[in-house]
């Protein structure tokens, strides 16, 4: 974690220290900018019409080695120009009170003097529930005989990218300006966009398409990004709980055939990099709001940090009978011995925040070690692997995918080692179908084909399957025929999967400009190969609030956080009074517990089911002694731990 105590002094001191660095930073950047031309990042702009079910594809195949920034703008009506049900790329945000219930279900149902809620706006398309639910129809008096239609947002409604809605990991929440920007890596195929609109008629007992009365369209802009934001930005606060800086994790990636991912980060502390901060607001001579924008230089750039959250790795290892054979005609070492040694050395290189699990397979697959950062346990599980039986590789991969998808860490990967093709149930199509459940951001699989015989048809098929697993998930396949090569592969995986390739930039945050100062944009500029590359993120402030308490200074970053729920604890350090802000992706149980440094449970703050949405809860640990504590939030089985520091 980066040091935040240095920011406890007054902002005036910080401002004085910035002046010279900003001057030199801008001189260096502007000198480069004279010879460099702004990069032409826009690849394509598409229009997605709401009155058509057609899938609109990009005219290009996306590059698996490139990152793309996609911006979706606009809104549309599901039900015509008058009685409107309004949606945008994220979800349904408005339902007119005069919409006929023969074409759209009740938002609330009134029976006698009681009003029952059926669904709440805003309603994201990632919501998998049916409305009305079976429980509502069975428990709300007279609802069943009055309801005519039912909706399921996830199955039948709204905008889709490659068949998937913009769930909270890409577009963090509903945006009132109806603009959503997120980043995804290329797949090797065109990106596909469309709008769904079908409702279930309970009277006709069938699904009815509703495109004919839809109005308006969405605009999709696809840009190829060189600059990538690698982690969710972290707020830096002074002792009064005021947000004074953001730590932004950034990489500037160019193609590199020697890297496992096919690209490398060229950003370091010596680069000519500039930051453009767009801040609202001030008034012009006509009392109209205008933006206040300016260039600044970061306080520092650090490129030697490990991943802030660590990584989660599922190691899938072959223990079939053939692992007792020699590696190859050129290496007489036994395969299982070489695999144990290389895997153990790989475990030894894991960092303190990294976690791994061990899955092995022969006639069937087993979990030999559940998720842990204890290297002793991981080494023990690897040492106990004894070869026998056949090769149930497909079953093991499916088990690894199911296990790692439940892990809250967004930095996740599967490392698979096999010395032959699968010869047990299920077949390879089952693995492909499991991968395709997450078409937008599949977990990368790095497959190691260990000593396969290219003259053996089963081994040939196994090599083909291993390559296809890597291709489908944007991983990579290694063909290994010696113990030295296996050691080299694991060293390369250490650099690619474990070590952070991104840099941390600390950007000072100016104070509030007024009640209209609610959304800000930070743009990062850097000259690369004769072009000035640009990328940006936005973040929310609470400048519109009169109350400047700790709770109201909380910030939710509008950022494409991959796979993990939003959770922020602010301020931190604190005197014991803090606010925990968290996001529930879908209806489920939420528990919040506070633990002391020795692992003792201090108190349980919450243990109850909650609907999808964002929540804030005040924490009062002012009665506890000074020290380190852990705030553990469990959201529908996923665990998020935030350290809490109390100073007095």
Please indicate whether residue 550 or residue 314 has the higher confidence score (pLDDT). 314
Boundaries of domain holding 193: 42-225
35 shares a domain with 147? no
Q: CA end-to-end span of the chain, whole Å?
A: 21
- Do 158 and 203 sit in the same domain of this protein? yes
- Quick check: 72 and 89 in contact, CB under 8 A? yes
In a domain, 55, yes or no: yes
Same domain? 87 vs 180: yes
DSSP 479-490: EE-SHHHHHHHH
pLDDT of 55 reads 94
Going from the C-alpha of 129 to that of each of 94, 97, 120, 207, 450, the distances in angstroms are: 18, 22, 12, 16, 45
Q: How far apart are CA 271 and CA 273, in angstroms?
A: 6
Q: Is residue 243 part of a domain?
A: yes
Residues forming a β-bridge with 360: 317, 366
- pLDDT tens, 349-369? 887 778 899 999 999 999 999
Q: Which one-letter DSSP state was computed for residue 107?
A: S
Per-residue model confidence as pLDDT tens digits over 112-129 = 888 888 888 888 888 888
At 621 the pLDDT is 86
In this model, does residue 31 exceed pLDDT 60? no
User: Where residue 13 falls among pLDDT bands split at 50, 70, 90?
Assistant: very low
Whether residue 1 lies inside any domain: the answer is no
Residue 2 lies in a domain: no
pLDDT-derived band of residue 304, with 50, 70 and 90 as boundaries?
low
For residues 336-358, give the mean pLDDT.
89
User: Residue 263: helix, strand or coil by DSSP?
Assistant: strand
Backbone angles phi, psi at 166, to 5 degrees: -80, 85
Least confident of 52-61, 93-102, 303-312, 356-365: 303-312
Most confident among 28-32, 145-149, 274-278, 488-492 (mean pLDDT)? 145-149
The 10s digit of each residue's pLDDT in 540-557 is 776 655 333 333 233 333
What is the chain's mean pLDDT, rounded?
78
- On whether both 343 and 384 belong to a single domain, the answer is yes
3-state secondary structure 307-324: CCCCCEEEEEEECCHHHH
Residues 272 and 391 in one domain: no
Sign of CA dihedral 97, 101, 104, 109: positive
- Classify each residue of 325-362 as buried b or exposed e, where b means 16 or more C-beta atoms within 10 Å of its C-beta: eebbeebebbbbebbbbbbbebbeebeeebbbbbbbbb
Nearest 5°: the CA angle 233, 234, 237 is 140
**Residues 271-275: what's their mean pLDDT?**
73
- Count of structural domains within the chain: 4
Residue 128 lies in a domain: yes
The residue among 396 and 598 whose pLDDT is bigger is: 396
Cα separation, 437 vs 404, in Å, equals 14
Note the pLDDT of residue 8. 37
Last residue of a domain, one of 203, 225, 247: 225
488 compared with 333, residue with greater pLDDT: 333
Q: What share of the chain is helix, strand, coil (3-state, %, to 5)?
A: 20, 40, 40
Q: Is the dihedral of CA 91, 96, 99, 101 positive or negative?
A: positive
Quickly count: other Cβ atoms within 10 Å of residue 502's Cβ. Answer: 21
SS (H, E, C) 147-181: CCEEECHHHHEEEEECCECCCCCCCCCCCCCCEEE
Whether the predicted pLDDT of 387 surpasses 90: yes
Q: Which residue has the higher pLDDT, 350 or 426?
A: 426
The pLDDT assigned to 126 comes to: 81
Higher pLDDT, 259 or 451: 451
- Residue 607: pLDDT above 60? yes
Query: Comparing C-alpha atoms, which of 61, 71, 45, 57 is closest to residue 187?
Result: 61
Query: Which run of H or of E encompasses 438?
Result: none
pLDDT at 34 over 50: no
Q: Which position has the higher pLDDT, 291 or 598?
A: 598
Contacts of residue 616, Cβ cutoff 8 Å, sequence gap at least 6: 551, 554, 579, 580, 581
pLDDT for 561 beyond 50: no
Q: Are residues 478 and 339 in the same domain?
A: yes
pLDDT greater than 50 at residue 7: no
Look at residue 46 in the predicted model and tell me its pLDDT: 95
Domain boundary among the residues 453, 473, 498 is at 498
Is 5 among the domain residues? no
Give the count of beta carbons closer than 10 Å to the beta carbon of residue 116: 15
Paired tokens of 414: 């599967």
Rounded-to-integer distance, Cα 126 and Cα 165, Å: 6
Q: Write out pLDDT tens, residues 146-199.
A: 989 999 998 899 999 988 888 654 555 677 788 887 777 777 889 999 999 999
Contact by Cβ (8 Å): 175, 90: yes
Question: pLDDT tens for residues 622-637?
Answer: 888 877 777 888 876 6
463-495 pLDDT, tens per residue?
999 999 988 887 888 899 988 889 888 877 876
Q: Which residue has the tokens 């005021």?
A: 242
| Element counts in the chain: helices (H) and strands (E) | 10, 42
Whether 70 and 216 share a structural domain: yes
pLDDT digits (tens, 9 = 90+) for 204-249: 888 888 898 899 999 999 987 777 776 667 777 777 777 788 888 7
Which of 169, 170, 221 has its CA nearest to residue 193? 221
Of the candidates 624, 519, 629, the one whose C-alpha atom is nearest the C-alpha of residue 580 is 629
Instruction: Supply φ then ψ for residue 441, to 5 degrees.
Output: -140, 65
pLDDT at 41: 60
The CATH number that applies at residue 646 is: 2.60.40.1930
| Domain assignment present for 374 | yes
Are 487 and 625 in a shared domain? no
pLDDT tier, 102 (very low <50, low <70, confident <90, very high otherwise) = confident
Same domain, 440 and 363: yes
CB 197 within 8 Å of CB 211 = yes
Q: How many CB atoms lie within 10 A of CB 516?
A: 15
H helix runs in 370-526, sequence order: 375-383, 393-405, 428-435, 457-473, 483-493
- 501 compared with 373, residue with greater pLDDT: 373
Same domain, 391 and 426: yes
328: in domain: yes
Q: Is the dihedral of CA 115, 117, 122, 123 positive or negative?
A: negative
CA–CA gap between residue 152 and residue 128 (Å, rounded): 6
Angle at 296 between CA 293 and CA 300, to 5 degrees: 145
Residues 199 and 339 placed together within one structural domain of the fold? no
Cα–Cα distance, 357 to 336 (Å, whole number)? 18
Is 186 found in the same domain as 65? yes
| Percent of the chain at pLDDT exceeding 70 | 78
Listed residues 560, 580, 607: the one ending a domain: 560
């Amino acid at each position: 974690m980066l040091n935040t105590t240095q920011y406890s002094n007054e902002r005036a001191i910080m401002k004085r220290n910035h002046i010279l660095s900003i001057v030199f930073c801008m001189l260096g950047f502007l000198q480069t900018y004279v010879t460099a031309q702004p990069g032409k990042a826009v690849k394509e702009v598409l229009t997605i019409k709401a009155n058509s079910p057609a899938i609109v594809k990009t005219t290009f195949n996306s590059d698996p080695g490139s990152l793309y920034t996609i911006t979706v703008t606009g809104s549309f009506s599901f039900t015509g120009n008058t009685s409107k049900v309004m949606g945008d790329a994220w979800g349904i945000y408005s339902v007119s009170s005069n919409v006929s219930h023969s074409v759209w279900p009740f938002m609330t149902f009134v029976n006698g003097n009681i009003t029952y809620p059926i669904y709440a706006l805003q309603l994201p398309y990632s919501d998998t529930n049916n409305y009305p639910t079976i429980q509502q129809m069975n428990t709300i008096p007279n609802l069943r005989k009055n309801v005519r239609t039912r909706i399921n947002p996830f199955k039948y409604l709204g905008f889709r990218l490659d068949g998937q809605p913009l769930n909270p990991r890409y577009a963090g929440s509903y945006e009132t300006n109806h603009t959503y920007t997120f980043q995804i890596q290329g797949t090797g195929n065109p990106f596909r966009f469309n709008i769904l609109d079908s409702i279930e008629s309970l009277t006709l007992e069938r699904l009815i398409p509703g495109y004919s009365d839809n109005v308006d369209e969405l605009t999709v802009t696809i840009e190829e990004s060189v600059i990538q934001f690698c982690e969710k930005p972290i707020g830096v606060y002074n002792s009064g709980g005021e947000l004074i800086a953001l730590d932004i994790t950034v990489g500037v990636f160019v193609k590199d055939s020697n890297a496992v991912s096919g690209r490398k980060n060229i950003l370091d502390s010596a680069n000519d990099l500039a930051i453009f901060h767009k801040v609202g607001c001030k008034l012009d001579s006509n009392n109209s709001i205008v933006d206040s924008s300016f260039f600044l230089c970061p306080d520092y750039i650090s490129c030697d940090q490990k991943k802030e959250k660590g990584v989660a790795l599922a190691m899938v290892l072959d223990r079939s009978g053939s692992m007792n054979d020699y590696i190859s005609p050129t290496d007489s070492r036994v395969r299982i011995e070489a695999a144990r040694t290389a895997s153990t050395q790989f475990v030894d290189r894991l960092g303190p925040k990294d976690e791994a699990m061990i899955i092995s397979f022969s006639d069937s697959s087993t979990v030999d070690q559940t998720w842990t950062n204890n290297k002793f346990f991981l080494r023990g599980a690897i040492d106990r692997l004894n070869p026998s039986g056949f090769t149930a590789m497909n079953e093991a991969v499916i088990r690894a995918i199911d296990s790692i998808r439940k892990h809250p860490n967004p930095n996740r990967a599967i490392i698979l080692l096999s010395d032959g093709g699968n010869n047990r149930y299920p077949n390879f199509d089952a693995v492909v179908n499991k991968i395709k459940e997450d078409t937008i951001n599949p977990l990368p699989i790095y497959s190691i084909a260990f000593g396969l015989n290219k003259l053996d048809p089963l081994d040939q098929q196994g090599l083909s399957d291993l390559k296809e697993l890597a291709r489908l998930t944007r991983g990579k396949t290694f063909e290994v025929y010696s113990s030295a090569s296996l050691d080299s592969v694991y060293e390369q995986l250490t650099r690619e999967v474990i070590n952070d390739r991104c840099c941390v930039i600390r950007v000072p945050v100016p104070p509030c400009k007024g009640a209209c100062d609610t959304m800000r944009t930070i743009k990062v500029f850097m000259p690369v190969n004769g072009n000035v590359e640009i990328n940006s993120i936005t973040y929310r402030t609470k400048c519109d609030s009169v109350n400047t308490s700790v709770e109201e200074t909380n910030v939710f970053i509008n950022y494409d956080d991959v796979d993990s729920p939003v959770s922020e604890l602010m301020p931190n350090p604190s005197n014991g009074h803090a606010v925990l802000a968290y996001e529930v992706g879908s209806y489920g149980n939420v528990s919040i517990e506070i633990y002391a440094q020795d692992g003792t449970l201090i108190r349980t703050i919450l243990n109850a089911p909650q609907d999808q949405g964002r929540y804030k809860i005040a924490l009062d640990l002012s009665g506890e002694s000074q020290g380190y504590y852990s705030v553990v939030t469990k959201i529908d089985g996923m665990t998020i731990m935030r350290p809490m520091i109390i100073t007095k």
